[in-house]
Structure 1
């Protein structure tokens, strides 16, 4: 479990924005979000930690909520999930690292922007024609999956014990390359990282990654 403060996320976003402006991508720079900036960091640093071959392709996936994207949107009373796994374009590992933080953030943004009412409905039609069940064990080992959301109200439910110290998800639905995002108590993001031990050891040595992590936000009484 790692924490990225609001200031850290703002710095990641600004760094990506400056890189995109320097590359002439004003549209990408203007549409940047904190989610894109953090996902770019994770995708690139995971790729480096895994030591993927330069000519090996990698993709970043993200779980996207369809409720507000459908036209008309699903009502607030809708019971159940309506989620799709969106993905960036495939890119060679060497190119992902060489193109930089801004390019990766914009690639995530393009995937989000393309997830529209039309694409959601087209996916539903395609699935109905050829239904298949998702298996966690089939997730590609050269990719990253961003799940959950920092928009979820993880601290608003009070059972009489006071405001929760932190959000945790347990052992379910974990695989190499899975990242789960939660709202931080201070306006930042709490990030749950799942990687194989050898990759995690390499990530622990990644200076770019740890320069963005806010190490002093562990709630009282809890261990990293």
Structure 2
């Protein structure tokens, strides 16, 4: 692969930011602090090539500045307070307008086809260089920007990569920001089209804030820039609308419960889970897990507005054994996931927070052995983003919280399709890619 070149690196601040006007500090919840040691999630969109006569980099920077005026928390920094009297630390988001990292890079020998149809058939390793926050952890938001962008010019296209601090926002809030940025870039900024940002606010009565976390729980390991394990590989699998309909129908047809309906995503997740376990050569008694990150806004009581900004995700975890999984069908696996999702109630969510505050515990990784983790969502508006020279050609996940069994879910380019970027050991991934039973309902994209 030819030389990768960083052309420039800058900080983009919100347009007309006045530090003394309306400066906000946002306190963090247990669910935010849970991600303190996590790496920035990173995603990227592949676009066609802009008109060479257009100064699209300047256009992206100026529109980003305007978008940050609306989504001002992203332009702030994490503020840490050391509480010496009890050896704890407290954190909040200081919306001080410090700005966000913006990198302009070039990889002119790389073509769109190199990304979409790489040699070897896996997501190519060179894509790692297209992302701006490799190895950056949430705790580093004290000095690192809370969201970062990298625009890499290719031979015949452009790749816009980004990483963001999961303590500040979840996927729902991030894509709302990204949609706003692309709208401003393509159509201009009209303040009346962008209402004031609706902050999540504090909704846990009885919990004092800022929350105090033991210093020992705030220490992260030394940053490893190439955070993806060399022992893992990634492929993208596509489920067409027909595949999805067939899996959903099959799963629900195998379940006798009238009060539970397995959703499309639950059916797909069950199919992936069963297929991965079938190809993993686990002993029947070994425990296995399926973790799904889910938006809790509307599940709280009182519910939060869907548009509120922040991180409001919970983990639904289904647990069984490899033997029990393989002795039962798709519907049974889908029902386990359905029950796990259903268990994420307002009471469960609040109970976790109350217990966590009493004894804060921050994991190094949300994944555990023999687990799959289903992240992102097929309902995010990914392919509607047009900065003025065409909609995305493809979406890819970058390094960040990568683990064996991580499944990143996107909408497909064609409406109704779903694509899943799948990270597994080479041995399991190869077997899965040649599993006739799995491929009855999925196809390999790359």
Q: TM-score, normalised by structure 1?
A: 0.88
Distance 1:146 1:154 in 2: 17
Aligned partners of 1:8 and 1:214 also within 8 Å: no
Distance 1:2 1:128, change over 3 A: same
> What displacement does 1:185 show?
2.3
Q: In the alignment, what sits opposite 1:73?
A: 303
> Which of the numbers 363, 388, 403 marks the counterpart of 1:134?
363
Task: Give the paired residue count.
Answer: 210
Q: In the alignment, what sits opposite 2:249?
A: 14
Aligned partners of 1:176 and 1:194 also within 8 Å: yes
Query: Structure 2 matches for 1:34-73, cutoff 5 A?
Result: 34-73=264-303
- The runs of at least 4 consecutive aligned structure 1 residues that moved more than 6 Å come to none
Q: In the alignment, what sits opposite 2:262?
A: 32
Greater relative CO, 1 or 2 (CA 8 Å, sep 6+): 1
Aligned partners of 1:12 and 1:37 also within 8 Å: yes
Distance 1:214 1:198, change over 3 A: closer
Bigger proportion of residues as strand: 2
5+ residue gaps, structure 1? 219-223
Distance 1:212 1:131 in 2: 42
Q: TM-score, normalised by structure 2?
A: 0.45
5+ residue gaps, structure 2? 1-235
Aligned partners of 1:141 and 1:177 also within 8 Å: no
> What displacement does 1:164 show?
0.8
Bigger proportion of residues as helix: 1
Aligned partners of 1:4 and 1:188 also within 8 Å: yes
Distance 2:310 2:253 in 1: 40
Aligned partners of 1:68 and 1:74 also within 8 Å: yes
Query: Structure 2 matches for 1:1-224, cutoff 5 A?
Result: 1-20=236-255, 24-28=256-260, 31-76=261-306, 78-88=308-318, 90-136=319-365, 139-186=367-414, 187-215=416-444, 224=446
Aligned residue for 1:102, secondary structure, equals: helix
Larger Rg: 2
